[in-house]
Amino acid sequence: MEYLNLFVKSIFIDNMVFAYFLGMCSYLAVSKNVKTAFGLGLAVTFVLTVTLPVNYLLETKILRAGALTWLSEDFANVDLSFLSFIMFIAVIAAMVQIVEMVVEKFTPALYASLGIFLPLIAVNCAILGGSLFMQQRDFGNIGLASIYGFGSGIGWLLAIIGIAAIREKISYSDIPKPLKGLGITFIITGLMGIAFMSFLGIKL
């Protein structure tokens, strides 16, 4: 039950895009058509699902104050948490490299359409944000951390597909000229965010 609750919460209530504005850069740049958006969303979900458990282990077994006691009792006073940024980003960069190679091998078409944004997943704030929130929230076990990563990824996927679909339709609408493109996308995202806020307080 706890898992399901966290899963739903991470998709709808703590949505990466609408509640924390994470991953906005690629969200705005790659949301011009649904297909590419879907591909990027899947890649982000995958990277989040893989990096969170790895970073969770790093955090609990190596970085946290006194985490190294499993190695030797002498390390009980060692606190490496100031290294967490650099460790997390290294894990993420490595994972993204793997995803990039897999995508290039199996779906060259998707690889071509994602272009520069695939390697840039490494600097997608949603991914590092996931790890940092995980560190902040102190999840009890690795299962919860993985579920949180997966749920956040799905939430991001939903958000980018939604905006891509709207942008496809809106290209036929009559929008004031200065507002076209970037401006209206921001405002629509804001309105979607307000809609998503209606999920606030749902508890399973």
Partner 1 sequence: MLSEKNKEIFLGPISKNNPVIVQVLGICSALAVTAQMMPALVMSLSLTAVLAFANVIISLMRNIIPNRIRIIVQLVVVAALVIIVDQVLKAFAFEVSKQLSVFVGLIITNCILMGRLEAFALGNKPWPSFLDGIGNGIGYSVILLIIAFFREFFGSGTVFGIQVIPDAFYEWGYANNGLFILPPMALIVAGCIIWIHRIKNPDMQE
| Least separation in angstroms between CB 44 and partner 1 | 13
Asked if residue 124 lies in contact with residue 44, where contact means CB atoms within 8 angstroms, the answer is: yes
Q: Report the residue from 21, 38, 75, 199 that binds partner 1 according to the rule CB under 8 A.
A: 21
- Rounded to whole angstroms, how far apart are CA atoms 108 and 169? 27
- Which residue is listed with tokens 């036929």? 172
In terms of Cβ atoms closer than 10 Å to its own Cβ (0-12, 13-18, 19+), residue 146 is buried
Using CB under 8 A, pick the residue from 19, 57, 80, 142 that binds partner 1.
19
143 versus 181: smaller Cβ distance to partner 1? 181
For residues 58 and 88, the answer to whether their CB atoms sit within 8 Å is: yes
Restricting to residues 36-75, which ones interact with partner 1 according to CB under 8 A? none
- Contact segment (CB under 8 A) with partner 1 among 31-39, 60-68, 87-95, 140-148 equals 87-95
Q: Any contact of residue 125 with partner 1 (CB under 8 A)?
A: yes
Stretch that binds partner 1, among 47-55, 56-64, 72-80, 131-139 (CB under 8 A): 131-139
**99 contacts partner 1 (rule: CB under 8 A):** no
The span from the CA of 140 to the CA of 87, in Å, is 21
